[in-house]
Structure 1
Amino acid sequence: MYAAMPLMPFAIPSALVAQPAATAARHATGRITGRIVDAKTGAGLSDVGVQVVGTTLGTMSGVDGRFTLPAVPAGTVTIQARRIGYQAKTVTGIMLAGGQTLEQDVTLGTATVQLQAVAVTASAERGSVSKALDEQRTSTSIVNATTAEQIQRSPDADAAQAVKRVSGVTVQDGKYVIVRGLGERYTQTSLNGSRVPSPEPERKVVPLDLFPAALIDAITTAKTFTPDRPGDFSGALVDIRTREFPASRSVTFSSSLGANTAAAGRDVIRAPRVGQEWLGFGGDRRTLPSAVAAAGQTLSGVTPGAPTNALIRSFRNKWTPVADNTGLPNGSFGVSVGGNDAVLGRRVGYVASLSYSTSQEVRRDEQLIVPRADGAGGAEALSTFAGSTGRESVLWGGVANLSTMLGGASRLSLNNTYNRTSDNEARSLTGLDEQFASVLTLTRLGFVSRSVLSNQLRGEHTIGAGARQQLDWNVSRSQVSRDEPDRSDLVYQGTGANRFWRGLANDATRFFGALDERDYAGALNYRVSFGDAASAPQLKVGGYYRDVHRDSDVQAYDILNLGLEQAALRDRAESIFRRAASSDAASLLVRPSTFGGRYSADETLGAGYAMLEGGLGSRVRVIAGARVESADIQVNTLTAQLQDTVSRLKNTDVLPAVNLTVRVTDAQNLRLSATQTLSRPEYRELSPVAYVEIAANNEERGNPGLRRALIRNYDARWEWYPSGGEVLSVGVFAKRFQDPIERVFVATTGRPQIGFVNADAATNYGVELDVRKGLGFLGAPFRDITASTNATFMRSRIAITDSLTAATNPDRPMVGQSPYVVNASLGYAQPDGRFSATVLYNVFGKRITLAGVEPLPDTYERPRNVLDFALQVPVLADVTARVNGSNLLDAPYREQIGGVHRRSYRAGRVFSLGLSWRPQGRDPRPVTRP
């Protein structure tokens, strides 16, 4: 079924989407839509007069600068845009076919002499600056952006893979974003401007692999804070914008088929399926058995014998990975429909997209160790395990976005997004446990699904003459879930004929975990301009409110041996438990595990801000203001030992910000910024619920006494945009942390523990370089080739408090800090964008994943060189083929503690071949080179 799924789009009859050319030819007029934007700020300009030259056809741009000219005679068209305080602009050479809707944006510059005018061709106006660099150039703060066009020219399948191309960004575990070397806790994620809660119980950051690349219009990474943004980030605020409606009706199909070299044609262990994994659902057979739920959390009324055996029979009797499985192919398909049509006399823009993909992931040559101190400041292996992991992953999602204008002064938008991912995983590791002087085989069967649902209603309004006042608002609802139903952990001792199930605590454990979180939020922003010119000062004020509730419940049960003989224990676990549970003998015991528990978290956050934006002369722009955030977090915990704990964190903080942009020349900017932000602990980090990691044998617990951290941020960046699609920028940054939260490795007399603590202070500083340059200066053969690279070099140091004097390294980098991050690409693209080839490279320096506490040293993730490529080739008029290759070097993943590898594996090379089909033809606009 997996192999067949990617071919589904080709079975859809083309008659459902084809539009006869003869119908279009009968139309004698077309329609021109677009936006009028300020050349300096990139903001939409309202109340701009737009006229078709030589006719009486005209209109005024509305909210966000949008305009529509209906019933324009087909042929070569010239339009003119005028507004007081700006240079009038005439755009010539617009080729409009009958029945066509053409999108033409226009940029207006500030008038230095009243009535001064400029004239440009339509092609020059469209291709003047790429969308990503234009957003970066006109931003009021330091941002980097990547767009759908850039994603299309890479093998990136989701937002996590796409965002790692941004300067200073790395991605951990293929999901979690780290910016400027700061840990994932210092990055926040929003979807279309609204906060997305995290579905992970142990992490604050949102896993970006939840968002398929096919649904993304752009990803913006804001690295500096302004008062109209949430204040709880320091690395970056990552905003994922889903696709907006096109100017004319458009339908696109895509499909791909591929393979992982670590899996294709090779035996791969897998977890037994129940039939709904291909949709990302665990299925009813994985839910907590009703008999176990009815027995209560402590199972106090369940006695050995028939009552216990009845509970064991209620568990799904699957414990062992399937070992004779051939690796499955990877596949994907997608469909997107969008347009701008009249509905009940009003034009409504719409886009609906669905994307589905499935992949086979393998960890070959996998190794995990349990470390112990070697007495000389290093570490050695207490236990070493080797084996492999097989994972079948599914990712699918959809967007349904609508937008309409209410007159010329108001715009309403409704954005809806749903994404779901799942991993069905089997792991088998065998090795010598030196603590017990025996060979152990550890296996795990686990299924994890995550989902994000987001609904957002947004309004934008211009008020009064001259559009000097603007009001925007939004209300949103987000809901995330993470389900880990029926995970089974199993331990066998010995090898060959002497291999047997030990039947001790934690040797046969079933976990049932569920996390649900819902988030309601609302925001209101008001802006007033004290003049008509672009340099006129503006005051912006607003408020924000968010209400969050999370429920997390992990129930775990151990099965122990009471009376089974050694011979019976040598069989497969499925046979052992089936035979024992079918009798009334008191041979097995079921009891709650010491791991697990439940917690609920409630957070209310209210914020208000005021900021003034204005010019100091014609070349200096200042944004200054402050944001006040008041947060109240309460976490109620009930551990597996029935210990009840309440954690409370309540703070009101004032977060000032000053951002200065100096226009050195028309193509150069100098940006300076000084801000204060904060970082609050994740709910799970405030809860003492225990969690255990397989094989590594580490116990992880939260800390109810954690405090929020305050961060002072200083940034400076010089930017030069020599021509369209090109940039050279150099930036420096520095950060000072008070009470930063660190994830530390704690050595104890028993099981090693991972915990969370507040350090006293930390510093982080670095340099960023970003270059994107066309190679046309080398000669005509190179004019369609673009080279780009970005590099970030960082350093951080953390100060340890007296309570942490047992830290192994009191002068170490912060957890997650890389000393350098380098991205590079070389791309070729024809002017129409249909043929392109891109090679991409990424590497980062070693970074701490776990901070050591005496006598154990710090744990580092070692550098990995990653090389990818993407090739796009036109096949037919409306069909394009894509060939992608990822992880071509297959560099091993390694975590090192002391002189040993705590964790290592290889993931294989991934190749795919895909086709995309756009029945209605290509967009007539040329595609700007990256």
Structure 2
Amino acid sequence: MNRPANRFLLKPISLAVAASIVLPTSMAFAQSNEEEVIEEVVATGTRLKGTATAVMEERKNQAFVADIMGAEQIARTGDSDAAGALRRVTGLTLVDGRFIYVRGLGERYSSTQLNGAIVPSPDPTRNVIPLDLFPSSIIESLAVQKSYSPSMPAAFGGGNVNIRLKSIPTQRVFNVSAAVGIDTENSGDVLDYAGGGRDWTGEDDGTRGVSAAIQERWDSKNFLDDLEPEEALELFKGVNREYGLERESADPDMRVNVTYGDSYDYDEDWRFGFLVTSRYSAQTRSSEEYELQDPDLVGDDIINVRFFDDIQGTEQTVTWSSLLTLGVDYNRQHRIDYSLIVLNDTRDEIREMFGNTENLNQAEGLRIRDIDVQYEERSLYTNQLKGQHTIPELNFMGIDWTYSLGRSVRYAPGNFNARFVMEDVNEDGIFDDENEIFLSDAQTAARYTFQNLHDRLENFGYNVTYPMTMGKWETEYKVGASFVTKTRTAENRRFDINTLGVEDRSILDGNDFSEIFSDSVLDTLSLSSRPIIRDTTIAGDDYVAGQKIDAYYLEADFFYDNKWRFTGGARYEDFRQVVAPLDPRTNQFDLSDEADRSQLAFQEDGFYPALAVTYFLEDDMQLRASIGQTVVRPDLREVSSATYLDPLTNFPIAGTPGVSTTDIINYDLRWEWYREAGNNVSVGLFYKDMEAPIESVQSPAQDGPPLIRIANAESGEVYGVEVEFLQDLAFIGDGIWDNLFTTGNITVSDSEIVLDRQNIVEQTGVSAAITNVERRMTGHSQYVLNMQLGYDSDNGEHSASLVYNVFGERILIPGIDGFDDNFEQPFHSLDMVYKYYPDFNSTVTLRVQNILGEDREIEFNDTLLRSETRGTGIRLSYKYDF
């Protein structure tokens, strides 16, 4: 398109001022008056610095310590979801690609809100929300409050993450973007299997679901127990058996996003607006892995007893999301917004795993081959209605309220695992996985698992603020309340394929489950006296839970002579929770002990105060300090002694009735300097004193992975220092230095918990052979570093960022039986994002992720426990603004 005749570039200081003025309303300007000298102002030269300046202004005005990341900053780093973006925030680390640890504290120590409201979680074992559910395309900003304030939920440990979604625009917005990408690990063919016909939509078409005959038996509480062999065979014929491996070339990653919104004025007082945005993405990731399951300690030597030393895996993900926002504004004093958020994330993973067990090993001329398929659909549906009202007649008193009704679902049909045995028949030292292989002759040659979870959460809250001025004192009083009602139902079913029920063992030869048990084979199958299907659903697989929180708070904010700010108050919470593990066969409690039953109902109430003081050293420099008392409560399943499998680790986990809450006293001190042109620097100190912190411990296992138990440590503490900065490089010299800036943060911290073996044994009722009774908290990294080097061209047509992130080693699995703790090793992430603006409507983006090709590794005692290769991803996208 034609360039404007008059084009002026803004220097950094001018841009900082302009951005702070215009960001809340509009980022584009056009002058149609012919008498104006400036036809158009183009402020694309230092995009990130402009938006970062506005974000820093919001952070500066917070009464409590907080960090905020805007949409443009997220776009600059190229992160595709909230989880990836949040790892750029000072002191935050990302675990398993979906959970955020704030200041080294695990996910249970952080809370998440959506537009200031609590929403349900689709995770079957945790209350927290997996943050990879939220695509960056619908996010306006991410706010992380690290020091507690009474307006926040009292369940506050590391911090509170508030995901603020896009709202109605001030002018028409219409854009479409599309992206394609590849990953270096996907070169060549990748593993695949015959799934459903609608997999590309992220929805199973029923292929993986259980057959109607088996579902009917489960619904009528007539489980697959003590079946006659012929009856079991008929049921098996209706089961999906198409789990044979295929090798296919991977499709390229793809992503499409559409956004449309506008606002309209009616008369002089009314304004109406809407925003609709939808995104679809699909990607494939292949990897090579190693997994040690059972080491043995012989003297000082570690012997690998059970392990998989050759794992090939492929994960396909399909995500789609939609956001609809409607808003009405009257006289700029009353505004009501409605938002509908629909999110879906589907993961389909298949792994081929070669390894040894204690009985099936190479020394015996044997080796195992496992096929593992994990499929899950996670969905979140949330309706939110919120209002903001200003009443000038009452000294501009403000009233705002929020009502949120949400539902989350996790649907995991037909997860499948099968074990094959390879025998070196010709003794050539080669295990032939085509000709010297057979399906395991065992009660559990294969296992089918079906899981369903429904979470429903209703949240209503309101706040009333009243400002007053008395001499040199400017004050604001704030009162509010929040009411949360949450219900959850979870259902788990499983059955095993018992090949001891087959009379002719020769049919088990082969490496393809679908061929071994094809329809033609099953029609002529000779049976033994044992049924080929056995139900292995156990008591405690089902549970129902409820939670109710009624909270009220009072907060006051005092400014004195523009030099001092005092903010404080208290929150009262009445917390009630009940968890009922059920026996699926009887739908009765899975606990016979009356004492255990009584502990499933959990109730507590209390006051949680906080105080923050800010001293304004200069107009652009301030020192803030705060103290707050908070609590962290056990999750829903952590107060039930029923055993369940964590879908993230496949480790069996058993909660502990009677686990007590963790009381925390939080201390924060931060110095902030907001300099010219948006440059800034801050240094913060924090300390947390914890009583009875909730932690994971292990009990030795007889066969398979160790049993994880939930217990209270005696005491704990977390402390550290955070440094953050933004600095342009123009001070170095003229030329290219005017176009460069750097921003980053570093957190150095430590933690310590003290455990008592005997107390844990008494609390959990099982052996607790803990190796280290004094150690860091699970998931805590002693350092986190983020660095970014940015470039913006003079003509505003090019921008680039080089982004680096690394975290220090962290304990993922505490050690037992003399073994040290298992540490996830540092992961050095280096990404590059380049943007080209060929005209005022178009944006071309190239992103290269994991340039260093780092692998994920977990180690203990200098021994590799797990590893997973990660490829370098390359993505090219195009966005057009109409």
Regarding TM over 0.5, the answer is yes
Given that 1:309 and 1:583 are in contact with CA atoms closer than 8 Å, whether structure 2 keeps it comes out as: no
- Distance between the aligned counterparts of 2:819 and 2:402, measured in 1? 50
Distance 1:282 1:96 in 2: 55
Cα distance in 2 for partners of 1:129, 1:742 equals 37
Distance in 2 (CA, whole Å) between partners of 1:806 and 1:144 is 40
For 1:363 and 1:635, how far apart are their aligned partners in 2?
Answer: 38
Among 717, 729, 750, the alignment partner of 1:795 is: 750
In the alignment, what sits opposite 2:602?
649
Matched, 1:207 2:104: no
CA distance in 2, matches of 1:476, 1:695: 28
Say if 2:538 is the partner of 1:600: no
Tell me the alpha carbon deviations over residues 229-282 of structure 1, each in whole angstroms, 9 at most, x when there is no partner.
111121121111111233221211111111000003x11112322122222212
Q: CA offset at residue 601 of structure 1?
A: 0.8
In structure 2, the CA distance between the partners of 1:696 and 1:620, relative to structure 1 (3 Å rule), is: closer
Measured in 1, the distance between the counterparts of 2:322 and 2:384 equals 14
Residue 362 (1) aligns with residue 286 (2) = yes
Tell me what 2:624 maps to: 671
Match of 2:686 in 1: 733
Indicate whether 1:530 and 2:489 are aligned: no
Work out whether residues 834 and 880 of structure 1, in 8 Å CA contact, stay in contact via their aligned partners in 2.
no
SS at match of 2:345: strand
Which amino acid in structure 2 is aligned with residue 445 of structure 1?
V
Q: How do residues 23-34 of structure 1 correspond to structure 2 at under 5 angstroms? A: none
Match of 2:148 among 221, 225, 229: 225
> 1:255 corresponds to which residue?
178
Residue type at the aligned position of 2:771: T
Counterpart of 2:438? Answer: 500
Task: Quote how far apart the aligned CAs of 1:379 are.
Answer: 4.9
The aligned residue for residue 294 of structure 1 is 216
Distance of 1:892 and 1:680 partners within structure 2:
35
* Kept in 2: contact 1:509–1:558 (CA 8 A): yes
Q: CA deviation at 1:637?
A: 0.8
Matches within 5 A, 1:531-610: 531=469, 536-561=474-499, 562-571=501-510, 572-578=512-518, 579=520, 581-583=522-524, 585-587=526-528, 588-593=531-536, 597-610=541-554
**Structure 1 residue 350 corresponds to structure 2 residue 274:** yes
Q: Any idea what the Cα deviations from partners look like across 1:458-500, whole Å, max 9, x if unmatched?
A: 1111124364311111111111111111101111112433311
**Pairing 1:416–2:346 present:** no
Cα offsets for 1:365-419 (capped at 9, x unmatched): x101112341557854221202111011112111111222123421111122111
1:274 pairs, out of 166, 191, 196, with: 196
The reply to whether residue 769 of structure 1 matches residue 692 of structure 2 is no
Gap regions ≥5 residues in structure 1: 1-19, 22-38, 45-64, 78-92, 105-122, 920-930
Q: What residue identity is the alignment partner of 1:275?
A: G
**Alignment match of 1:434 (pick from 337, 346, 358):** 358
Distance 2:648 2:356 in 1: 11
Contact 1:843 1:863 in 2 (8 A): yes
- Superposed CA offset, 1:532-552 (max 9, x none): 899511111111100001111
Mapped to 1, the partners of 2:616 and 2:294 lie a distance apart of 55
SS at match of 1:311: helix
Q: Is the 8 A contact 1:529 1:539 kept in 2?
A: yes
- Contact kept, 8 Å, 1:320 with 1:445, in 2: the verdict is no
Q: Structure 1's 451 and 594: CA in aligned 2 closer, same or farther, altered over 3 A? A: closer
Residue matched to 1:778? 732
> Taking structure 1 as reference, are residues 654 and 425 closer, same or farther at Cα in structure 2, changes over 3 Å only?
same
1:434-513 superposed matches below 5 A: 434-437=358-361, 438-465=366-393, 467-494=395-422, 495-496=431-432, 497-513=435-451
Question: What code does the residue aligned with 1:278 have?
Answer: W
2:506 is matched by which residue type in structure 1?
A: A
Tell me the equivalent position of 2:10: none
Match of 1:862 among 825, 837, 851: 825
Determine whether 1:383 maps to 2:306.
yes
**Could you say what secondary structure the match of 1:756 adopts?**
strand
Q: Deviation of residue 744 (structure 1)?
A: 2.1
| Structure 2 counterpart of 1:526, one-letter code | V
Structure 2 contact 698–770 (Cα < 8 Å) conserved: no
- Is 2:162 the partner of 1:239? yes
What's the offset of the Cα at 1:302? 5.7
Residues 677-826 of structure 1: matches in 2 within 5 Å?
Answer: 677-692=630-645, 698-751=651-704, 752-781=706-735, 782-801=737-756, 802-804=758-760, 806-826=769-789
Which deviates more, 699-708 or 245-254? 699-708
Letter in 2 for 1:629: E
Q: Give 2:408's aligned amino acid.
A: V
- CA separation in 2, counterparts of 1:772 and 1:408? 35
Distance 1:381 1:639, change over 3 A: farther
Corresponding residue number in structure 2 for 1:113: none
The CA distance in 2 between the partners of 1:523 and 1:576, in whole Å, is: 58
* Greater mean deviation of Cα atoms: 216-225 or 823-832: 823-832
Alignment of 1:55-454 (within 5 A): 75=33, 130-264=53-187, 266-296=188-218, 299=223, 303-322=227-246, 324-342=247-265, 346-364=270-288, 366-375=289-298, 379-385=302-308, 386-437=310-361, 438-454=366-382
Q: Is the 2:68–2:143 Cα contact (8 Å) retained in structure 1?
A: yes
Distance 1:770 1:696, change over 3 A: closer
Give the match for residue 843 of structure 2. Answer: 880
Q: What is the one-letter code of the residue matched to 2:214? A: V
- What secondary structure sits across from 1:135 in the alignment? helix
- Identify which range, 549-558 or 720-729, moves more after superposition: 720-729
CA distance in 1, matches of 2:330, 2:281: 38
Q: CA RMSD in A?
A: 3.0
Letter in 2 for 1:479: R
User: Residue 66 and residue 433 in structure 1: after superposition, are their counterparts in 2 closer, same or farther (change >3 A)?
Assistant: closer
CA distance in 2, matches of 1:143, 1:236: 9
Alignment-derived partner of residue 808 in structure 2:
845
Task: Tell me the TM-score normalised to structure 1 length.
Answer: 0.83
Q: Which residue of 1 aligns with 2:5?
A: none
- Cα distance in 1 between the residues matched to 2:784 and 2:455: 34
| AA in 1 matched with 2:503 | L
Change (3 A) 1:547 1:836: same
The answer for the alignment partner of 2:875 in structure 1 is 912
Structure 1 stretch 297-306 or stretch 598-607: which is displaced more?
Answer: 297-306
CA contact (8 A) 1:103 1:247 kept: no
- Deviation string 1:866-902 (CA, Å, 9 cap, x unpaired) is 1001000122442221100111111110111333222
Secondary structure, counterpart of 1:309 in structure 2: helix
Cα distance in 1 for partners of 2:270, 2:687 equals 51
Given that 1:321 and 1:445 are in contact with CA atoms closer than 8 Å, whether structure 2 keeps it comes out as no
Aligned mates of 1:103, 1:512 — CA distance in 2? 56
Q: CA deviation at 1:212?
A: 1.0
2:527 maps to amino acid: A
| Residues in 1 aligned to 2:192 and 2:34: alpha-carbon distance in whole angstroms | 61
Q: Distance in 1 between matches of 2:373 and 2:573?
A: 43
Partners of 2:460 and 2:466 in 1: how far apart? 21
Distance of aligned partners of 1:855 and 1:797 in 2 relative to their CA distance in 1, 3 Å threshold: same
Conservation of the 8 A alpha-carbon contact between 1:796 and 1:813: yes
Contact 1:169-1:180 at 8 Å conserved across structures: yes
The amino acid of 2:745's aligned partner reads N
Aligned CA distance change for structure 1 residues 563 and 842 (closer, same or farther; 3 Å): same
CA contact (8 A) 1:319 1:444 kept: no
Q: Quick check: 1:377–1:856 contact (8 Å CA) kept in 2?
A: no
Q: For residue 308 of structure 1, report the CA deviation from its aligned partner.
A: 0.6
* Of 298-307 and 270-279, the range deviating more from structure 2: 298-307
Contact 1:598 1:689 in 2 (8 A): no
What is the alpha-carbon distance in structure 1 between the residues aligned to residue 143 and residue 205 of structure 2? 36
Task: Give the deviation of 1:95 after TM superposition.
Answer: 6.7
